[in-house]
């Protein structure tokens, strides 16, 4: 009982004493704050060296192969198809001048013969007129002589009548003879004057018949439908025995000597093409604001694991200006085909519908600096290092390439040979001290780029 009372009396004191001891122990373990300022070192950065001014770059756009010309061959005359070569089928290649279809030429051959006979009949009439002209000329000469004699006879009768040796009736007979001769001569002269008119009428009739003969021969030729150029048949529906009317579509053929690549350029692409002055193509063809600059184009077609290259020319706009949906400008690239593939020494053919890549080389007049993509910040800034100090440059991006961006040299203080930062920083401000790491030249970049390890 007495021990219990003692424990109850000193128990709280023991608890307080244990807490004080624990607090003293913990307080002795707490580290004292360092009141000295920490050592401040500039953050390390990695840099690369800007290369020389960008002299050229490439514009790559997708394209699709389309035919330059596709001609619809329709019947120009009516008739029944009597001949069609077996090779004339859709998908077959035909040479220029190849007979594709033959209509029944019988009616048109007879029309040619009829026109020829009519022309021959007019020629005979002209020969008859020539003979008649010679006769009329002779008759006019005889009539003139007869009138002269009748006039002399009348003069003699008049003298005799004055001497009272001829009667009045003799004088009247002489006058009638002279009048008859004059009338006959006038009639012959009228016939002679009408001969040129008759000749012109016959010649006009002959010209009309020759025109009809030419039309008949043209219609006969139109019964034979031939290939207008070397091409690929894309439609061939007519068969032997079909009766066709003028205007019925029977064949379609697309040109194979040349194809076009339909591609679309952005407005800035067109600007750089017009700004290009070192290309020989643009020197030959001065700039025209209403036409696309004619420049050499490289066309690439990928087939499985093989790549085919073709040479062409950017030739013209296609369509009516800028497409309002895509805000691009449709253009056409002309590519001769077939071309020899240097990898296989065999011709490769671009066919309608193929998807290709069109590459246009640009040599701009504007001086451009290439900034590596890894040195461009999201807010279109880049950071350079000058005397271990960070300098912020705002970029006026002129062109975005696959691994860099191009900026006009006149709009920035950056110059070739300067070092730009490629490593990230938590914070950056103009004039911030930085510590540039010693750079090393990496493989393939020894001239333009150095990075620290």
At 144, list the tokens: 């003139």
Closest CA to 419 of 378, 380, 397, 448: 448
Please give the residue that has the higher pLDDT: either 377 or 348: 377
- pLDDT, residue 450, reads 35
Q: What is the pLDDT of residues 400-443, one digit of tens each?
A: 888 888 888 888 888 888 899 888 888 888 888 988 874 443 32
Evaluate if residue 10 carries a pLDDT over 50: yes
Please, what is the average pLDDT of the chain?
83
Q: Per residue in 306-333, pLDDT tens?
A: 888 889 999 888 877 888 888 899 999 9
Strands (E), 224-279: 224-226, 231-236, 243-244, 249-255, 258-265
Tell me which of 248 and 341 has the higher pLDDT: 248
DSSP calls for 200-239: HHHHHHHHHHHHHHHHHHHHHHHTEEE-SSSEEEEEE---
Q: Is the pLDDT of residue 33 over 70?
A: no
CB burial of residue 328 (10 Å; 0-12, 13-18, 19+): middle
| pLDDT higher than threshold 50 for residue 392 | yes
On the question of pLDDT at 453 being above 50, the answer is: no
pLDDT (tens digit per residue) in 178-193: 888 888 888 888 888 8
The residue to which tokens 């062109």 are assigned: 399
User: Does residue 111 surpass a pLDDT of 60?
Assistant: yes
Give the least confident one: 39-43, 270-274, 340-344.
Answer: 340-344
| Confidence category of residue 201, pLDDT binned at 50, 70, 90 | very high
| Nearest partner of 205 among 217, 194, 197, 193, judged by Cα | 197
Query: Residues 267-276: what's their mean pLDDT?
Result: 86
Please, which pLDDT band fits residue 104 given cuts at 50, 70 and 90?
Answer: very high
448 pLDDT above the threshold of 50: no
What is the average pLDDT across 57-67? 91
Nearest to 178 by CA among 190, 170, 188: 170
How does pLDDT run across 149-165, given as a tens digit for each residue? 888 888 888 888 787 78
The pLDDT, as a whole number, for residue 403 is 86
d(CA 396, CA 180): 111
pLDDT at 284: 53
Kindly report, residue by residue over 322-363, the tens digit of the pLDDT.
888 888 999 999 998 765 555 555 667 888 889 999 999 888
Confidence band, pLDDT 50/70/90 cuts, at residue 378: confident
Residue 306 and residue 300 in contact, taking contact as beta carbons nearer than 8 Å: no
* pLDDT value at 445 more than 70: no
pLDDT of residue 358: 94
pLDDT at 273 over 60: yes
From the CB of residue 257, how many other CB atoms can be counted at a distance below 10 Å? 13
Q: What mean pLDDT do residues 126-142 have?
A: 88
Given a cut of 50, whether residue 51 has pLDDT beyond it is yes
pLDDT > 90: what percent of the chain?
26
Please compute the mean of the pLDDT values over residues 205-223 and round it to a whole number.
94
Mean pLDDT of 387-395: 89
Identify which has the larger pLDDT, 19 or 294: 294
Give φ, ψ of 306 to 5 degrees: -115, 150
pLDDT at 30: 65
The pLDDT value recorded for residue 118 is 94
Tokens of residue 188, six digits: 């012959």
Identify the weakest region by mean pLDDT among 149-163, 231-245, 249-263, 304-318.
149-163
* 274-292 per-position pLDDT tens digit: 887 544 444 555 556 778 8
């Amino acid at each position: 009982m007495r021990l219990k009372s003692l424990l109850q009396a000193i128990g709280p004191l023991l608890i307080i004493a244990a807490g004080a001891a624990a607090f003293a122990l913990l307080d002795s373990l707490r580290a004292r704050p360092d009141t000295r300022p920490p050592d401040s070192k500039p953050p390390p950065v990695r840099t690369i060296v800007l290369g020389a001014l960008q002299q050229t770059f490439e514009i790559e756009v997708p394209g699709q192969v389309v035919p330059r010309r596709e001609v619809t061959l329709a019947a120009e005359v009516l008739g029944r198809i009597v001949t069609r070569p077996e090779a004339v089928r859709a998908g077959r290649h035909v040479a220029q001048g190849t007979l594709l279809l033959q209509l029944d030429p019988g009616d048109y051959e007879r029309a040619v013969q009829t026109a020829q006979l009519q022309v021959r009949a007019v020629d005979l009439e002209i020969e008859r007129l020539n003979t008649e002209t010679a006769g009329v000329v002779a008759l006019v000469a005889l009539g003139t002589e007869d009138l002269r004699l009748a006039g002399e006879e009348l003069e003699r009768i008049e003298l005799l009548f004055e001497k009272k040796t001829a009667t009045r009736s003799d004088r009247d007979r002489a006058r009638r003879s002279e009048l008859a001769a004059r009338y006959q001569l006038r009639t012959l002269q009228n016939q002679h004057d009408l001969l040129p008119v008759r000749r012109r009428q016959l010649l006009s009739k002959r010209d009309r018949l020759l025109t009809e003969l030419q039309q008949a021969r043209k219609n006969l030729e139109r019964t034979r439908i031939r290939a207008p150029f070397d091409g690929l048949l894309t439609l061939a529906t007519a068969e032997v025995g079909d009766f066709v009317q003028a205007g019925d579509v029977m064949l379609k053929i697309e040109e194979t000597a040349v194809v076009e690549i339909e591609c679309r350029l952005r407005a800035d692409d067109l600007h750089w093409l017009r700004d290009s002055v070192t290309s020989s193509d643009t020197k030959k063809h001065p700039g025209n604001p209403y036409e696309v600059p004619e420049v050499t184009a490289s066309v690439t077609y990928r087939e499985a694991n093989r790549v085919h290259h073709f040479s062409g020319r950017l030739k013209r706009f296609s369509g009516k200006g800028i497409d309002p949906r895509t805000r691009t400008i449709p253009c056409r690239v002309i590519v001769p085909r077939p071309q020899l593939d240097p990898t296989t020494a065999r011709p490769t053919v671009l066919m309608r519908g193929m998807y290709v890549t069109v590459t246009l080389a640009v040599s701009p007049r504007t001086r451009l600096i290439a900034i590596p993509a890894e040195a461009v910040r999201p807010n279109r800034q880049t950071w350079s290092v000058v005397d271990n100090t960070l300098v912020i440059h705002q970029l006026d991006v002129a062109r975005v390439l696959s691994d860099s961006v191009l900026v006009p040299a006149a709009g920035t203080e950056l110059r070739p040979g300067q070092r730009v930062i490629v490593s990230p920083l938590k914070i950056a401000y103009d004039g911030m001290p930085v510590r540039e790491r010693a750079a090393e030249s990496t493989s393939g970049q020894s001239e333009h780029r150095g990075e620290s390890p």
